[in-house]
């Protein structure tokens, strides 16, 4: 391929790295940014929170459904909610990226632009990465975070009698996925929710400061992710559907598609809302809503007191 054909092969690995790193302003916590064998990031707390999530073309995103910028934003967002769900504040992300030789260079720069937009929302920088050839686009983001002196809020601290609460929208991304899957592009509100969540990264810290006993971000589906808390904590969880926010927008889309909006709220992934448990009678932090209760040891996740008879959320390889 010729050097100027607009593809990553024409641009070449090192000029591609230059294209995605040049001129980017790093926050103060980045002591040494991209360009050396590794970056150096300040960890004021002395402990580092670390997480990684991989996004694969065709599995996590489609470029005829989302712009490269939206995919980049999502790749960062889904990692930063894992940091926030520990009660930590993100400090930096790293971007692993693989794509075919004929990928337009502009796609990579737009994707990087989206990643920086989301990183900026959290006040952090992209401090490193890797660029390699593959048969399809794969994005692997690693996020680091800082606990600021707090104890991590794990999945294992829920106790019977705690209240279950959520912060953020549920079911919107699943509704958007259903719309896109039927070949439609509107309503844009739910379609955009599928393309990229807009998490409140402070919600996890508010929960930690408000005494949350366990927490998780909802990536696979509310029931599935509450199931991780129930299992790790050795408790049951009962969700009250009357307390869930099934927005009129979801009801409209459900009616149009012949789908059940409550199912999207209970089992739809990718909204990256937060779910947590709090001691009974605690004042819930701003933005958090009670949706259920922690029940007897090892009784699983129930909905209005009954076992849910369908899939509880997304699973790869199913
Ligand atoms: N290949 C792996 N090696 C080690 N740990 C892994 C691997 N894959 C997943 N995990 C860990 O398993 C846990 C559950 O993973 P996952 O369901 O992807 O979490 P999340 O939904 O928060 O991204 C996480 O703590 C994750 O780090
Ligand atoms: C093209 C396409 N098909 C299907 C989906 C739906 N989808 C893909 S992954 C996923 C769940 C979350 O992904 P996962 O890799 O399990 O993230 P994690 O739980 O590790 O945060 C969902 C609902 C999608 N986003 N895009
Ligand atoms: Mg994961
Ligand atoms: Mg998670
Ligand atoms: Mg998952």
Verify whether ligand 2 is closer than 6 Å to residue 218 (CB atom).
no
Tokens of residue 146, six digits: 């800082």
Verify whether ligand 2 is closer than 6 Å to residue 63 (CB atom).
no
pLDDT value at residue 3: 66
Closest residue by Cα to atom 6, ligand 1, is 52
First to last CA, the chain: 39
Q: Kindly write down the DSSP assignment for every residue of 103-169, as one continuous string.
A: -BHHHHHHHHHHHHHHHHHTT-EEEEEEEEE-SS-EEEEEEEEE-TTPPP--SS---TTPEEEEES-
CA atoms 18, 19, 22, 25: torsion sign: negative
For the chain, helix, strand, coil in percent to 5 are 35, 25, 40
Tokens of residue 268, six digits: 């739809």
pLDDT value at residue 2: 59
For residue 50, which ligand has an atom nearest its CA?
1
pLDDT value at residue 254: 98
| ipTM, 2 dp | 0.98
Whether the upstream peptide bond of residue 187 has omega within 30° of 0, thus cis, is: yes
Closest residue by Cα to atom 18, ligand 2, is 219
Q: How far apart are CA 296 and CA 300, in angstroms?
A: 9
Residue in 214, 219, 216 with CA at minimum distance from that of residue 313: 219
Residue in 167, 127, 155 with CA at minimum distance from that of residue 143: 127
Residues facing 96 on adjacent strands: 130, 140
Distance 314 CA to ligand 5 centre (A): 7
Asked whether 291 and 166 are in contact (CB, 8 A), the reply is: yes
Distance 61 CA to ligand 2 centre (A): 8
Q: Name the pairing type of β-strands 89-99 and 125-133.
A: parallel
Distance 282 CA to ligand 3 centre (A): 30
Verify whether ligand 2 is closer than 6 Å to residue 268 (CB atom).
no
pLDDT value at residue 297: 83
Full set of structural domains in the chain with CATH: 8-146 (3.30.1330.10), 163-307 (3.90.650.10)
Q: Kindly write down the DSSP assignment for every residue of 23-34, as one continuous string.
A: TPPPPTTEEE-B
Atom of ligand 1 minimally distant from the CA of 85: 22
Tens of pLDDT along the chain (318 residues) come to 556 799 999 999 999 999 999 999 999 999 999 999 999 999 999 999 999 999 999 999 999 999 999 999 999 999 999 999 999 999 999 999 999 999 999 999 999 999 999 999 999 999 999 999 999 999 999 999 999 999 999 999 999 999 999 999 999 999 999 999 999 999 999 999 999 999 999 999 999 999 999 999 999 999 999 999 999 999 999 999 999 999 999 999 999 999 999 999 999 999 999 999 999 999 999 999 999 999 988 889 999 999 998 999 999 998
Length of the chain: 318
Virtual torsion, Cα 76, 78, 80, 83, nearest 10 deg? -150
Q: What are the φ and ψ backbone dihedral angles of 197, each rounded to 5 degrees?
A: -70, 160
pLDDT value at residue 309: 87
């Amino acid at each position: 391929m010729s050097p100027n054909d607009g593809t990553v092969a024409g641009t070449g690995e090192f000029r591609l790295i230059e294209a995605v790193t040049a001129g980017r302003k790093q926050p103060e916590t980045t002591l040494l940014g991209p360009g050396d064998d590794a970056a150096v990031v300040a960890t004021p707390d002395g402990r580092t929170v670390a997480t990684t999530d991989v996004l694969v073309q065709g599995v996590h995103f489609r470029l005829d459904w989302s712009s490269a910028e939206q995919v980049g934003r999502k790749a960062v967002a889904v990692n930063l909610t894992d940091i926030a769900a520990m009660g930590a504040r993100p400090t930096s992300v790293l971007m692993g990226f693989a794509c075919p030789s004929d990928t337009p260079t502009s796609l990579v720069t737009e994707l990087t632009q989206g990643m920086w937009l989301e990183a900026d929302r959290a006040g952090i920088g992209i401090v490193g990465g890797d660029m390699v050839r593959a048969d399809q686009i794969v994005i692997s983001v690693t996020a680091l975070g800082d606990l600021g002196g707090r104890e991590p809020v794990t999945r294992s601290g829920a106790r019977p009698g705690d209240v279950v609460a959520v912060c953020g929208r549920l079911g919107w991304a699943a509704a958007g996925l259903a719309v896109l899957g039927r070949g439609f592009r509107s309503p844009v509100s739910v379609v955009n929710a599928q393309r990229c969540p807009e998490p409140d990264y402070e919600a996890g810290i508010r929960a930690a400061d408000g005494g949350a006993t366990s927490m998780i971000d909802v990536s696979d589906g509310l029931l599935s992710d509450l199931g991780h808390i129930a299992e790790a904590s050795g408790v049951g969880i009962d969700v009250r559907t009357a307390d869930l926010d099934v927005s009129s927008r979801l009801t409209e889309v459900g009616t149009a598609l012949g789908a059940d909006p409550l199912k999207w709220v209970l089992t739809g992934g990718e909204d990256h809302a937060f779910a947590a448990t709090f001691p009974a009678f605690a004042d819930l932090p701003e933005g958090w809503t009670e949706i259920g209760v922690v029940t007897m040891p090892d009784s699983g996740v129930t909905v209005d007191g009954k076992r849910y008879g369908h899939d509880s959320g997304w699973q790869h390889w199913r």
